Chains A and B, each alone.
Chain A
Amino acid sequence: MFHRESGVFKTSYAADMGLYPLPIARWAVAAFAGLFIVIAPFALSEYYVSILNLILIACVGALGLNILVGYTGQISIGHGAFMSVGAYTAANLVTQLHAPFWITIPAGGVMAALIGAIVGIPSLRIKGIYLAIATLAAQLIIEWTINHVPAISGGVQASIQVPRPTLFGTPLRTQTQLYLFLMAFVVLAIVGTSNLVRSRVGRAFIAIRDQDIAAEIIGINIFHYKLWAFAISSFYAGVTGVLYTYYLGIANYEQFQLTVSIDYLAMIIIGGLGSVLGSILGAIFVTLLPIMTRWFLEDFGWLLFSQADLLNAIPNLRLIMFGGLIIFFLVVEPEGLNRLWRNIRNYFRVWPFSY
């Protein structure tokens, strides 16, 4: 991550595909893991850890969406709905069967993957804008179904209370405990995605993204892999939904509406399409944006607005900044934060002889 190599000395494909280009990269990752797993949760106060938890949850979802949109090139505006599928699956399992988390989380993921694969079926015939609209329809239809079928939504408010998961017989009460719990899944998601995209399947995804007809001609079963992309991405979304439900303590369809799908799209656009690091950076950025906006306005907002307007201004300013940033990144830096980071690294790679 921070190393400076003096040249490319790879002599085998295995070395080229390695997760760690140099031994020092392994140490850098280990140090990072140490910082975030051992030090951060205990050094920060409960409130900041709860924000970190939100980021962790968003990371899983963003990684999943990036597999579909960034690596396979299939646009989906239905990520939020797949999360709600996972969330309600888990909530029903918990309330009716008292299922533990190690059942609900895979079950939520698998259920979302099934629904996601069904939504992905039209991707055989349609792509681009049409697929975007089809997934938008899926988002609205899933939302409506959950809201109107009491067997899924558990009644009037369409919300189900879910107790925190229990680990080794004790429920995870504090944010710090939850943080470590969530971190395990984030690590799994990161490792899973990194390994997926350099495997045969991942390469097929990338080939489909770059030129689907050409990919078909060289013998990639497009339909098969597109469905896999939808299923895997939705699996991640389902897991995100379950994790978020555990975090909130309630499953509610309002937490998974169209705006959430758009938030996740924004994460991968701002972070960088087709990049694991980009998904994480995007998740951090988009999760922190509204929080930072609120902090900033609460401290300095009186300079611009009267007290009465301030409450009204915060959500709207958030919207404007959110939309503005998406447009800014698309126009100015289409490859997102990941590219900015690479530029910085490349600058320092030969520093101080950068000419």
Chain B
Amino acid sequence: MPDFEWQFTLVLLTNGIMIGLMYALIALGFVLIYKATDAINFAQGEFVMFAGFLAAVAAEMVGAPFWLSALVAIAGMIALGFGLERVVLRPLIGRPVIAVVMATIGLAAVLRGTAVMAFGAGTRAIIMPVSDEPFELGPIMLPPVQLVGAGVSLVFLAAFTWFFLKSRTGIAMRAVADSQQVAMAMGINVRRYFALAWAMAGVVSALGGVVWGTMLGVDNQLALVGLKVFPVVILGGLDSVMGAVIGGLIVGIVENFAAGYFDPIVGGGTKDFAPYVLMILVLMIRPEGIFGRRRIERV
């Protein structure tokens, strides 16, 4: 059945691309924070989950339409981003990496506990006003939700690329990331840009939460997509917006192929496993990722 094999591969490939673009959306939030503040956000998955809860609760409790609940999620996440930066991250500026890593891990625990306490453990649904009927392109079925997710992801990729390259704020943010001291000397308000970066990551996470929440349903399991962020950003490079998308695509495609071809052999679970093996290989060969900047260290 060579013909069937070919179709199977194509289906896996398109699914991988779609999922990959949606991973990229989440990874974008991670990259934004790393790029601007040099902090690693281990709570990215929890951000996405929290945003999903906000949107779902807004839709259920108040009966808000989809666009309004998405706005609620965005507003909530901006507030959360500002607040967390002020309370948790700002005191940790200039401290060793492990302090920031552990603080965001702690943050993840707090967010997971709070979300379930406040919103309940049951799975909630976010209903996007698009049809459930998948588009059919030959053998390929594309659910509209995934198309929307991929579209949002691409739009934001373009927007952030422009933002960092051209806008005054974006350039200031890159300056802050490059060297906080020099940026301060040039009259850039470093703290403001740190807060801004967290708020922007909040916006991206909110969109990620809405899209992923629509696809998977919102409960505390949604935070697990955060675990996929690490292979994505390591592959692409921690500080590259473009890298987030390329990394997302690679991870999406690799895990779909792994699931399609290896799951029948080893009995499932390769989907979560393959991206990490790939990541280890990349770490060994090119630790800064495909698009990442190599850092020179001085004593």
Taking Cβ atoms with an 8 Å cutoff, the residues of A that contact B are: 69, 73, 75, 122, 125-126, 128-130, 132-134, 136-138, 140-141, 144, 147-148, 211, 213-214, 217, 262, 265-266, 269, 273, 312-313, 315-320, 322-327, 330-331, 334
Contact = CB atoms under 8 A, between A and B. Distances in A.
Interface string B56-100: 000000000000000000000000000000001001100111110
Interface stretch (B9-17, B110-118, B242-250): B110-118
A122 B299 contact: no
Contacts of B299: 211, 213-214, 217
Interface stretch (B124-132, B137-145, B207-215, B266-274): B266-274
Interface in B274-299: 276-277, 279-280, 283-284, 287, 297-299
Nearest to A320: B113
B117 A316 contact: yes
B97 A128 contact: yes
Contacts of B227: 140
Contacts of A262: 105, 109
B40 interface: yes
A264 to B, nearest CB: 11
A320 B46 CA distance: 13
B230 A330 contact: no
A122 B284 contact: yes
Given A265-B105, A323-B106, 19 more contacts: A73-B96, A75-B97, A129-B97, A130-B234, A133-B283, A137-B283, A140-B273, A141-B277, A144-B273, A315-B113, A316-B112, A319-B110, A320-B117, A323-B108, A323-B111, A324-B110, A330-B92, A330-B106, A331-B88
B103 interface: yes
19 contacts: A73-B96, A75-B101, A125-B284, A125-B287, A126-B287, A130-B283, A137-B231, A141-B273, A141-B277, A262-B109, A273-B98, A315-B113, A316-B112, A322-B106, A323-B107, A326-B102, A326-B106, A330-B92, A334-B95
- Most chain A beta carbons < 10 A, residue from B98, B103, B231, B298: B98
Nearest to A139: B276
B98 A69 contact: yes
Contact of B113 (A140, A214, A217, A317): A317
Contacts of B287: 122, 125-126, 130
A148 B269 contact: yes
B18 interface: no
Nearest to B280: A137
A122 B109 CA distance: 28
A136 B229 CA distance: 12
Nearest to A144: B273
Specify the main secondary structure of chain A where it touches its partner: helix
Nearest to B286: A125
B206 interface: no
Contacts of A126: 283, 287
A134 B102 contact: no
Interface size class of B (residues with CB under 8 A): 35 or more
Contacts of B97: 75, 128-129, 132
Contacts of A327: 88, 103, 106-107, 110
- Most chain B beta carbons < 10 A, residue from A75, A211, A214, A327: A327
- Most chain A beta carbons < 10 A, residue from B99, B102, B234: B102
A324 B26 CA distance: 24
Interface in B203-245: 227, 230-231, 234, 238
B121 interface: yes
Contacts of B111: 323
Nearest to B101: A132
Contact of A320 (B92, B99, B109): B109
A114 to B, nearest CB: 17
A330 B276 contact: no
A156 to B, nearest CB: 11
A330 B103 contact: yes
Nearest to A258: B227
Contacts of A125: 283-284, 287
A128 B95 CA distance: 12
Given A122-B280, A126-B287, A319-B112, A140 B297 contact: no
Nearest to A262: B105
Contact of B110 (A73, A132, A315, A323): A323
B219 to A, nearest CB: 13
Given A323-B107, A326-B102, A144 B269 contact: yes
Contacts of A313: 117
Nearest to A305: B117
Please name the 8 residue pairs, one residue from A and one from B, whose CB atoms are nearest each other, closest first. A323-B109, A326-B106, A319-B113, A323-B110, A320-B113, A323-B106, A128-B97, A137-B276
A312 B297 contact: no
A132 B230 CA distance: 10
A321 to B, nearest CB: 8
